[in-house]
Amino acid sequence: MPWPFKRKSLKQIARIEITGAIAGGTRKRVLEALKTVEEKKFPVLLLRIDSPGGTVGDSQEIYSALVRLREKVKIVASFGNISASGGVYIGMGAEHIVANPGTITGSIGVILRGNNIERLLDKIGVSFKVIKSGPYKDILAFDRELTEPEKTILQELIDTSYQQFVQTVAQSR
């Protein structure tokens, strides 16, 4: 049976889902969707986020695009089962955030992980000869330990990213 009342408006709400780990493919898909939301002049965007997080750069780029879009569109973020780390970062681009009591959220932090399988490679007799253009070109190489200067560089990088994250959350909420 058709609705008995005449619609006052033909405006619709846009919906974008961000699920799983946030990486380059996610960024590309979401930025294209945000462009469509802007071009079609949707008045409201519902951003559904169900993500454990992801890469810093991709999360920051999506956040920045949301902040720009927020000048034209009302944005509401809905956190699903989990919205942590990069998911939270992206959510900061919304005017409002809603979540269920059971939503796992938070994890405001940054991590950089590298694997060292040097001992395994030694056991099986595999070694590498490296020629590089600078002292840090093979930083996080899996076949050796980090040097102290490399650890310092990476810690400074992580600390800077973390401060950006904290500042974004503080300014957005």
137 is catalytic: yes
Closest residue by Cα to residue 77 from 18, 153, 125: 18
Q: Give CA–CA dist 37/44, Å, rounded.
A: 9
Residue 56 CB: number of other CB atoms within 10 A? Answer: 22
85 is catalytic: yes
Q: Give yes or no for a contact between 124 and 116, defined as CB atoms under 8 angstroms apart.
A: no
Catalytic-labelled residue, pool 41, 72, 137, 151? 137
Catalytic-labelled residue, pool 78, 83, 85, 161? 85
Q: What are phi and psi of 96, to 5 degrees?
A: -130, 150
Half-sphere exposure of 103 (CA within 13 A, CB side): 22
Q: Which residues contact 66 (CB under 8 A, 6 or more apart)?
A: 34, 47, 75, 90, 93, 94
> Which residues are annotated as catalytic?
85, 137
